[in-house]
Amino acid sequence: MNYFVTAIGTDSGKTLVSALLVEFLKADYWKPIQAGLPRDTDTVMGLVSNTQTTFHPEQFLLQLPASPHASARHEGLEISLSDFQLPAASGDLVIEGAGGILVPINDRDYVIDLAGKFSSQIILVSNLYLGSINHTLLSIDYLQRNHLPIKGIIFNGPSNPESEQIILKKSGLTCLLKIEQEKSITKQVISKYVDQLKQTWHDTP
């Protein structure tokens, strides 16, 4: 199975969640498009303890920290969905998107179209802030209307029970995990949340 980690926006916590899933599933990791440095692959590699994971190289490693379509154009490139081939993984594969679900990779396609291309189960990361209910429900609505299967949602940041409960009620999604505001992200923190994820993962479709 492959899982596509996307979010309601940039810097929502996709890389942290990807590391958690990689460690939990002992899955391979792939970031198809990296725009700007540092590489998210290096970050995930530094947080994972298991020795089974293979870290697959990016299809596009772009220098400008911008939308992939803009970063590629800056380098005289144009990204096409046909450029991407799923890497060979011995087991599960965690795919990390770039930015939010509707970040463009060219003038036609969005990052989330990679999830559709690879028939991925989607993990949606929602970081909680003023306005995140709207952003989260709009993201979910787009995914559901386009028949993209959502495994569940992960809330990231200081808890906001009212926001969390209304998002889950309106969307019908399962909350896989709530990640607190951590002072630092270490392998020990990853291990703590992996233990929590074990309680909810198999209860979801």
- Point out which residues pair with 178 in neighbouring strands: 155
User: Rounded to whole angstroms, what are the CA distances from 79 to 52, 67, 92, 172?
Assistant: 31, 12, 26, 34
CA angle 79, 82, 87 (to 5 degrees): 100
User: Is 31 a catalytic site residue?
Assistant: yes
Pairing state of beta strands 2-7 and 121-127? parallel
End-to-end C-alpha distance for the chain, whole angstroms:
13
Choice among 26, 31, 169, 192 that is catalytic:
31
What residues are annotated to the active site? 31
